[in-house]
Structure 1
Amino acid sequence: MSIWKPDPSFYPSPRLAAQAPPEKLAYVAAFDPDRNLPDAIEIVDVDPGSPDYASIVGTLPMPNTGDELHHFGWNACSSCLCPNAPHPHTERRYLVVPGLRSSRIYIIDTKADPLKPGIVKIIEPEAIANRTGYSRPHTVHCGPGGIYVTALGSADGGAPGGIFLLDPQSFEPLGRWEVDRGPQQLAYDGWWHLGYDTLVTSEWGTPDTFENGLIPEVLLGGRYGRKLHFWDLTRRKHLQEIDFGPEYQLVFELRPAHDPTKTYGFVNCVISLKDLSSSIWVWYRDGNAWAVRKIIDIPAEPASADVLPPVLQSFGAVPPLVTDIDLSMDDRFLYVSCWGTGDLLQYDVSDPFAPKLTGKVRIGGIVSRASHPTAPDNALNGGPQMVEISRDGKRVYFTNSLYGAVDPQFYPEGIDGWMVKLDADADGGLAFDPKFFLEWPAGHRPHQIRLQGGDCSSDSYCYP
């Protein structure tokens, strides 16, 4: 008699997940900003004992051009062990990879040979539009009862954006997640507090306001996303909206505490119209409602107009442009990507209301063009953007491209892609791994990273 066993990469608690074996491969979404070449999932060797360390060891090109692979995720994760919607015999084997521009989704099987994954299903944009009413799939999370996909636009590209579900077995689009949307119109990220039956969503804008780049009139008019929305996860009903105010634009990445007994999380605001600063906010339970508090301000840096891109010349400053954040598995360290200035910041958030800066490196940047120890004479462009942390918190990976249409607005010469790894000290502090600087092959730019076996932004847990 055979005995079913849960996937060994599933862990009931974040504490146990942090004891997982080190990752050996990373899957990275790579796209052609000119939309001439097919996008690809590139497989990077991240095993320090391998002769191919810090190099691309496999490539899976897409069958189409112009997808703009962006954020993607696993089909299943540790939430499959939750008591409210258990799927303990599901495997973490498929990558669910949306094309943000094409609205197409690829299902990629990594099991037979992790170095040679294959496409097993393609969900065309028409199927998504017809079954869900949405387009521009953006973020993928495996969760209770299915695969949750945030979408930035309706079927016709307008509002509202929202969330739809894919069946976890067939990957067929099931339909729109929201039963009672309330006032929510804009969408971006979505994540949850499983222990409190609460889902949280954030905002960017409708596709017509970003697909050809950020529109200054929309940004300066305060018409990009600036709100968080809180939902009843089971009843799929909108509960509460928190407006950050028109000064704050682009409320993006959601990072709830991994410990399911905690009722707080972190979100980044990309830019303040008042002074070009970026900020980090914490949401938390306050009595019978949710509240937010700004906990970190990251100021813009003065710069001469003649070294700034046209979009910034009248401001005379480099905004930090915090475009991604990530939270370590033990909820202790928050990592903050400053794509504009080139900084990757590490904060101790053991007390989420009193963060302490504990680590900082600089690479790239609009003005600084800081180099890497491996290539000390190279003036690098782009900056820390998509950041991912190993489950044990010891390794931090990041890439340097934001979005095809936005990259040239801040780096007019274009971005030469690269991927970097940092070593993180257990008590705080960051250092470049001098052996890990991966110059990306010309024609593609790297974006999101997923680590084999899971990482700090792929899984959610139901046990503390």
Structure 2
Amino acid sequence: MRYSIVFLTGLAPLLQAKPLDISLPPLIPKIPGVTEALPGLVPPLPILQVPTPPLDSPPFTASDIKPKKIGYYWTGAGDKAHADFLATFSLDDIQDTYGTLLWITDVPTSGNDPHHLTPSLDGKTIVGGGLLSLLKTQDTAYYFDTSDPYRPTFKKSNRAILSSITDEIRAKPDGGFYITYMGSALGTSPGRLIETDADFNIIHEWPEDVEGTLNILGEQFSPHGLTVDFDKQIAITSDFVVPLSILKPSLGVQHANTLRLWDLKTHTILNTITIPDGGGIQDVKFIPNNPENAAIATAVHLGQVWILYPFRKDANGKQGTAELLYDLGEKARDTVAIYSDLTQDGNFAYFTLTTANHIAALDISDLNNIKRLDDPDEDQDTVGPHYIKVTPDQKHISVTDYFVQTGEIGIINTPADFRALYIDINDDGSLHFNRSIDFSKEFENRGGAKPHSSVIYDLTDPENPKYY
């Protein structure tokens, strides 16, 4: 442990000067007529998988339409043999082109189990992470050039040195990103908070100070959720599970109960905040326009929403407190995953309860009088909802019906119908289900497809395009 601390602190100037990422070529090169057969011949292995090259994407029919609203879906091939890809669809209602496939952008690998997806602030780059990329010794972050929003191209990929298992992503004002990597390079604890530069090279794996390193070595650090307030120069990460513990052999998933409050100027951890018996704090997000810069966090085991006040002091005089905001009820308990998003006015919050097949809606405009807008006993038209985003126009939410399926090598395999839902937000904040894209049917020629996350571009106003 002392060696690790010396490495991280004594070499800090060197680490700051040079990128910390690497990019590995396929360990098994593609040999036409030979390697195409490998995926069907190699049986599943425990933990690490044979790094077979991907099968080329089957032909597809592109559309030349130019919709004002575009959905990008970071998607895994259903057979895990074909290349993973970014699927670009029209989400335009005005032109009646909703659900039209515009383009498919392959990455040079397969079996990544594509995870979260986020655009840069200028909308010219989208980055998506691979949850299980480590298992095939592949890069873990994949960058797409969206300068032409209708024909994205693959730009680059890379991986960190100390950490893996890419999760939440937030764009930096300088063009780079902050990214939570939930596990170490081996998929254990601790993970890291990754920072890239404007060229998307990894330049830091935080924390790098002695006290912060002792903090993440002393208590499970599995950062999944990430929210950043650049004005106040603070960030919060939420600890979810030890990634390796979801794979066989396993004694059970190792959940965390903690969040870390960060000083963004120094990238040091100000406080570790505990939600007792939280059982995996999957997500955290600042509430827009809140006068105290409060954030909400989801406690998966409890099925609860908690509120964090980053500038209030706890009993020990440390910055950052947490308290229960709302209990989502019995059907929300132990639903494997609870992910969230909020409207930009801070009035409404939405939560996907993955194994409960349900999306909850709350009116949080008055934090002392939370109102539930959905019927928790209603059978909704969704199976396995997870990733959720409010669209830039604040009129819809985009939900993808897929979380994680590790297959024979793991212990988490959540049911899913592999659809991308586009749900209307009513005036009172409640939801109206009416449209979806069926990825299983759309991509039958690669064993179906597993869309995990989305980014929405709204080009309605060419002078003020919006990306989220």
User: TM range, normalised to the smaller chain?
Assistant: 0.7 to 0.9
- The residue aligned with 1:188 is 224
2:454 is the alignment partner of 1:444: no
Which residue of 2 is the match for residue 137 of structure 1? 166
Find the aligned partners of 1:458 and 1:141 in 2 and give their Cα distance: 12
2:236 is aligned to 200
- What is the aligned partner in structure 2 of residue 19 from structure 1? none
Q: In structure 2, what is the equivalent of residue 348 of structure 1?
A: 363
Once the two structures are superposed, residues 384-439 of structure 1 have per-residue CA deviations (whole angstroms, 9 ceiling, x without a partner) of: 22111112321112111111228996767x53311212211222322123xx2211
Tell me the residue number matched to 1:306: none
Classify 1:458/1:158 alpha carbon distance in 2 versus 1 (closer, same or farther; 3 Å).
farther
1:147 partner amino acid: F
Is residue 410 of structure 2 the alignment partner of residue 401 of structure 1?
no
Distance 1:352 1:218 in 2: 36
Question: How big is the shift at 1:294?
Answer: 1.2
Question: Is this contact kept in 2: 1:397–1:419, CA < 8 A?
Answer: yes
Cα drift, residue 325 of structure 1? 0.8
Residue matched to 1:328:
343
Which residue of 2 is the match for residue 98 of structure 1? 129
**In the alignment, is residue 172 of structure 1 matched against residue 201 of structure 2?**
yes
Deviation at 1:224, TM superposition (A): 1.2
Report 1 or 2 for greater relative contact order, CA contacts < 8 Å, sequence distance ≥ 6.
1
Q: State how far apart, in whole Å, the 2-side matches of 1:350 and 1:234 are.
A: 31
Aligned partner of 2:187 in structure 1 is: 157
> Relative to 1, partners in 2 of residues 1:244 and 1:33: Cα closer, same or farther, differing over 3 Å?
farther
Structure 2 contact 403–416 (Cα < 8 Å) conserved: no
Distance 2:127 2:402 in 1: 20
| 1:28 paired to 2:43 | no
Show the 5 A alignment for 1:364-383: 372=381, 382-383=383-384
How many Å apart are 1:196 and its aligned residue?
2.4
Pair 1:402–1:232, CA change in 2 (3 A): same
State the identity %. Answer: 20
Moved more, 149-158 or 341-350: 149-158
State how far apart, in whole Å, the 2-side matches of 1:207 and 1:46 are: 34
**Cα distance between partner residues in 1 of 2:96 and 2:377:** 28
Return closer, same or farther for 1:349/1:406 CA change in 2, 3 Å cut-off: farther
Gaps of 5+ in 1: 1-21, 78-90, 273-277, 302-316, 373-379, 460-464
- TM-score between both structures, scaled by the size of structure 2: 0.72
Cα distance in 1 between the residues matched to 2:102 and 2:283: 30
Which residue of 2 is the match for residue 83 of structure 1?
none
1:12-64: CA deviation from partner (whole Å, max 9, x where unpaired): xxxxxxxxxx9600111111355222211111211102343124332112221
Cα 1:212–1:394 shift into 2, 3 Å: farther
Residue 41 of structure 1 corresponds to: 86
Distance of 2:156 and 2:377 partners within structure 1: 40
**Distance change (3 Å), C-alpha of 1:416 and 1:362:** farther
Q: Is the 8 A contact 1:43 1:59 kept in 2?
A: yes
The alignment's C-alpha RMSD in Å is 2.9
Amino acid at match of 2:128: V
Q: Aligned residue for 2:151?
A: 116
- Alpha-carbon distance in 2 for matches of 1:399, 1:164: 25
Code of the aligned partner of 2:454: I
Measured at CA, do residues 411 and 178 of structure 1 come closer, stay the same or move farther in structure 2, by a change above 3 Å?
A: closer
**What is the DSSP-based 3-state SS (H/G/I as helix, E as strand, rest coil) of the residue aligned with 1:209?**
helix
TM-score calculated relative to the size of structure 1: 0.73
CA distance in 1, matches of 2:184, 2:413: 30
Cα separation, 1, equivalents of 2:94 and 2:268:
49
Give the Cα separation in 2 of the matches to 1:432 and 1:186: 34
1:295 aligned residue (325, 330, 351): 325
